[in-house]
């Protein structure tokens, strides 16, 4: 009998759940709703929302007539120039930016106003990072301390909200070693606490089970991070979008399997995965 262990923290995080409920409410009220790009980074959930009536607005192409349309800003945020353009074109703009991301944007603006040189541990080009870069004059995005070039004596370090807490801590330590060259160092761990909790869970599940399955969208930064963590602990770790991607050979000789998810993965997909694993005659 295969033992199936599901993480305690599973399914949508608060910010994703909030964005989805905003869209669902608008559609129920009869609004014609567009979203900027992907509302969240999960292909299955975006497909479901589009079946309800949601349409995607391609920000890189000419926009259709939006004079009678409600446009929802994705959970990762939207560059301010694009947001202002939308407000001038659309009937209504509803901002579904995650409150944690919005709080980080405010922290960056406050640090800039106080004269700090700004560094962000994150992925260049990610939707969230593109939004954050738009709220300040200059934001240096780094992957490691090797990317750091300090040009002032007053430095602030932040992180994209879904990054690896361990790597962020390592970068912060390197900054602190340079503190003698700095007049002021501000380090703010802006990684969402839910992200940290899921990191701890994936480590436990990868360590305590024969197989670890990480569930989430192919574009999801936090899901990819969880998979990398799982794989570093347990080579029998797999990243899947939904139950259709499970292969029986992964678990045919296993006694236990751990399941965890990225923050934009629907609970229904987890349930489908559990049911499929239970059908395997092991």
The rounded radius of gyration (Å) of the Cα atoms in the chain is 21
Name the active-site residue from 9, 128, 199, 201. 128
CA distance 250 to 243: 13
CA distance 110 to 200: 31
128 is annotated as an active-site residue: yes
Query: Sheet containing 117-121: which strands, arranged edge to edge?
Result: 140-142, 117-121, 154-159, 184-187
The tokens describing 254, both together, are: 């296993």
Strand partners, 185: 155
Q: Which long-range contacts (CB under 8 A, 24 or more apart) does 82-85 make?
A: 82/36
CA distance 54 to 57: 10
Helix 99-113 and helix 14-28: axis angle, to 10°? 120
Cβ atoms within 10 Å, residue 157: 27
Catalytic annotation, residues? 128
């Amino acid at each position: 009998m295969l033992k199936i262990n599901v993480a305690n923290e599973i399914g949508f995080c608060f910010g994703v759940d909030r964005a989805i409920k905003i869209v669902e409410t608008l559609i129920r009220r009869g609004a014609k709703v567009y979203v900027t790009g992907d509302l969240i980074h999960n292909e299955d959930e975006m497909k479901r929302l589009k079946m309800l009536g949601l349409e995607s607005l391609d920000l890189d192409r000419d926009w259709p007539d939006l004079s009678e349309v409600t446009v929802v800003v994705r959970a990762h945020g939207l560059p301010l120039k694009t947001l202002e353009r939308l407000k001038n074109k659309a009937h209504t703009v509803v901002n579904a930016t995650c409150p944690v991301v919005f709080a980080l944007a405010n922290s960056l603006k406050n640090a800039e106003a106080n004269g700090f040189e700004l560094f962000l541990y994150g992925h260049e080009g990610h939707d969230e990072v593109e939004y954050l870069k738009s709220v300040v004059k200059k934001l240096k995005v780094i992957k490691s301390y090797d990317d750091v070039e300090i040009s002032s004596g007053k430095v602030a370090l932040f992180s994209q909200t879904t990054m690896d807490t361990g790597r962020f801590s390592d970068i912060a330590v390197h900054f602190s070693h340079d503190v003698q060259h700095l007049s002021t160092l501000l380090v703010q761990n802006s990684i969402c606490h839910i992200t940290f909790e899921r990191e701890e869970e994936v480590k436990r599940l990868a360590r305590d089970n024969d197989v670890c399955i990480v569930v989430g969208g192919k574009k999801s930064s936090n899901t990819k991070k969880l998979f990398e963590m799982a794989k570093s602990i347990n080579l029998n770790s797999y990243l899947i979008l939904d139950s259709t991607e499970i292969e029986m050979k992964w678990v045919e000789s296993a006694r236990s399997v751990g399941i965890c998810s990225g923050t934009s993965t629907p609970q229904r997909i987890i349930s489908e995965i559990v049911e499929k694993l239970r059908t395997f005659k092991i």
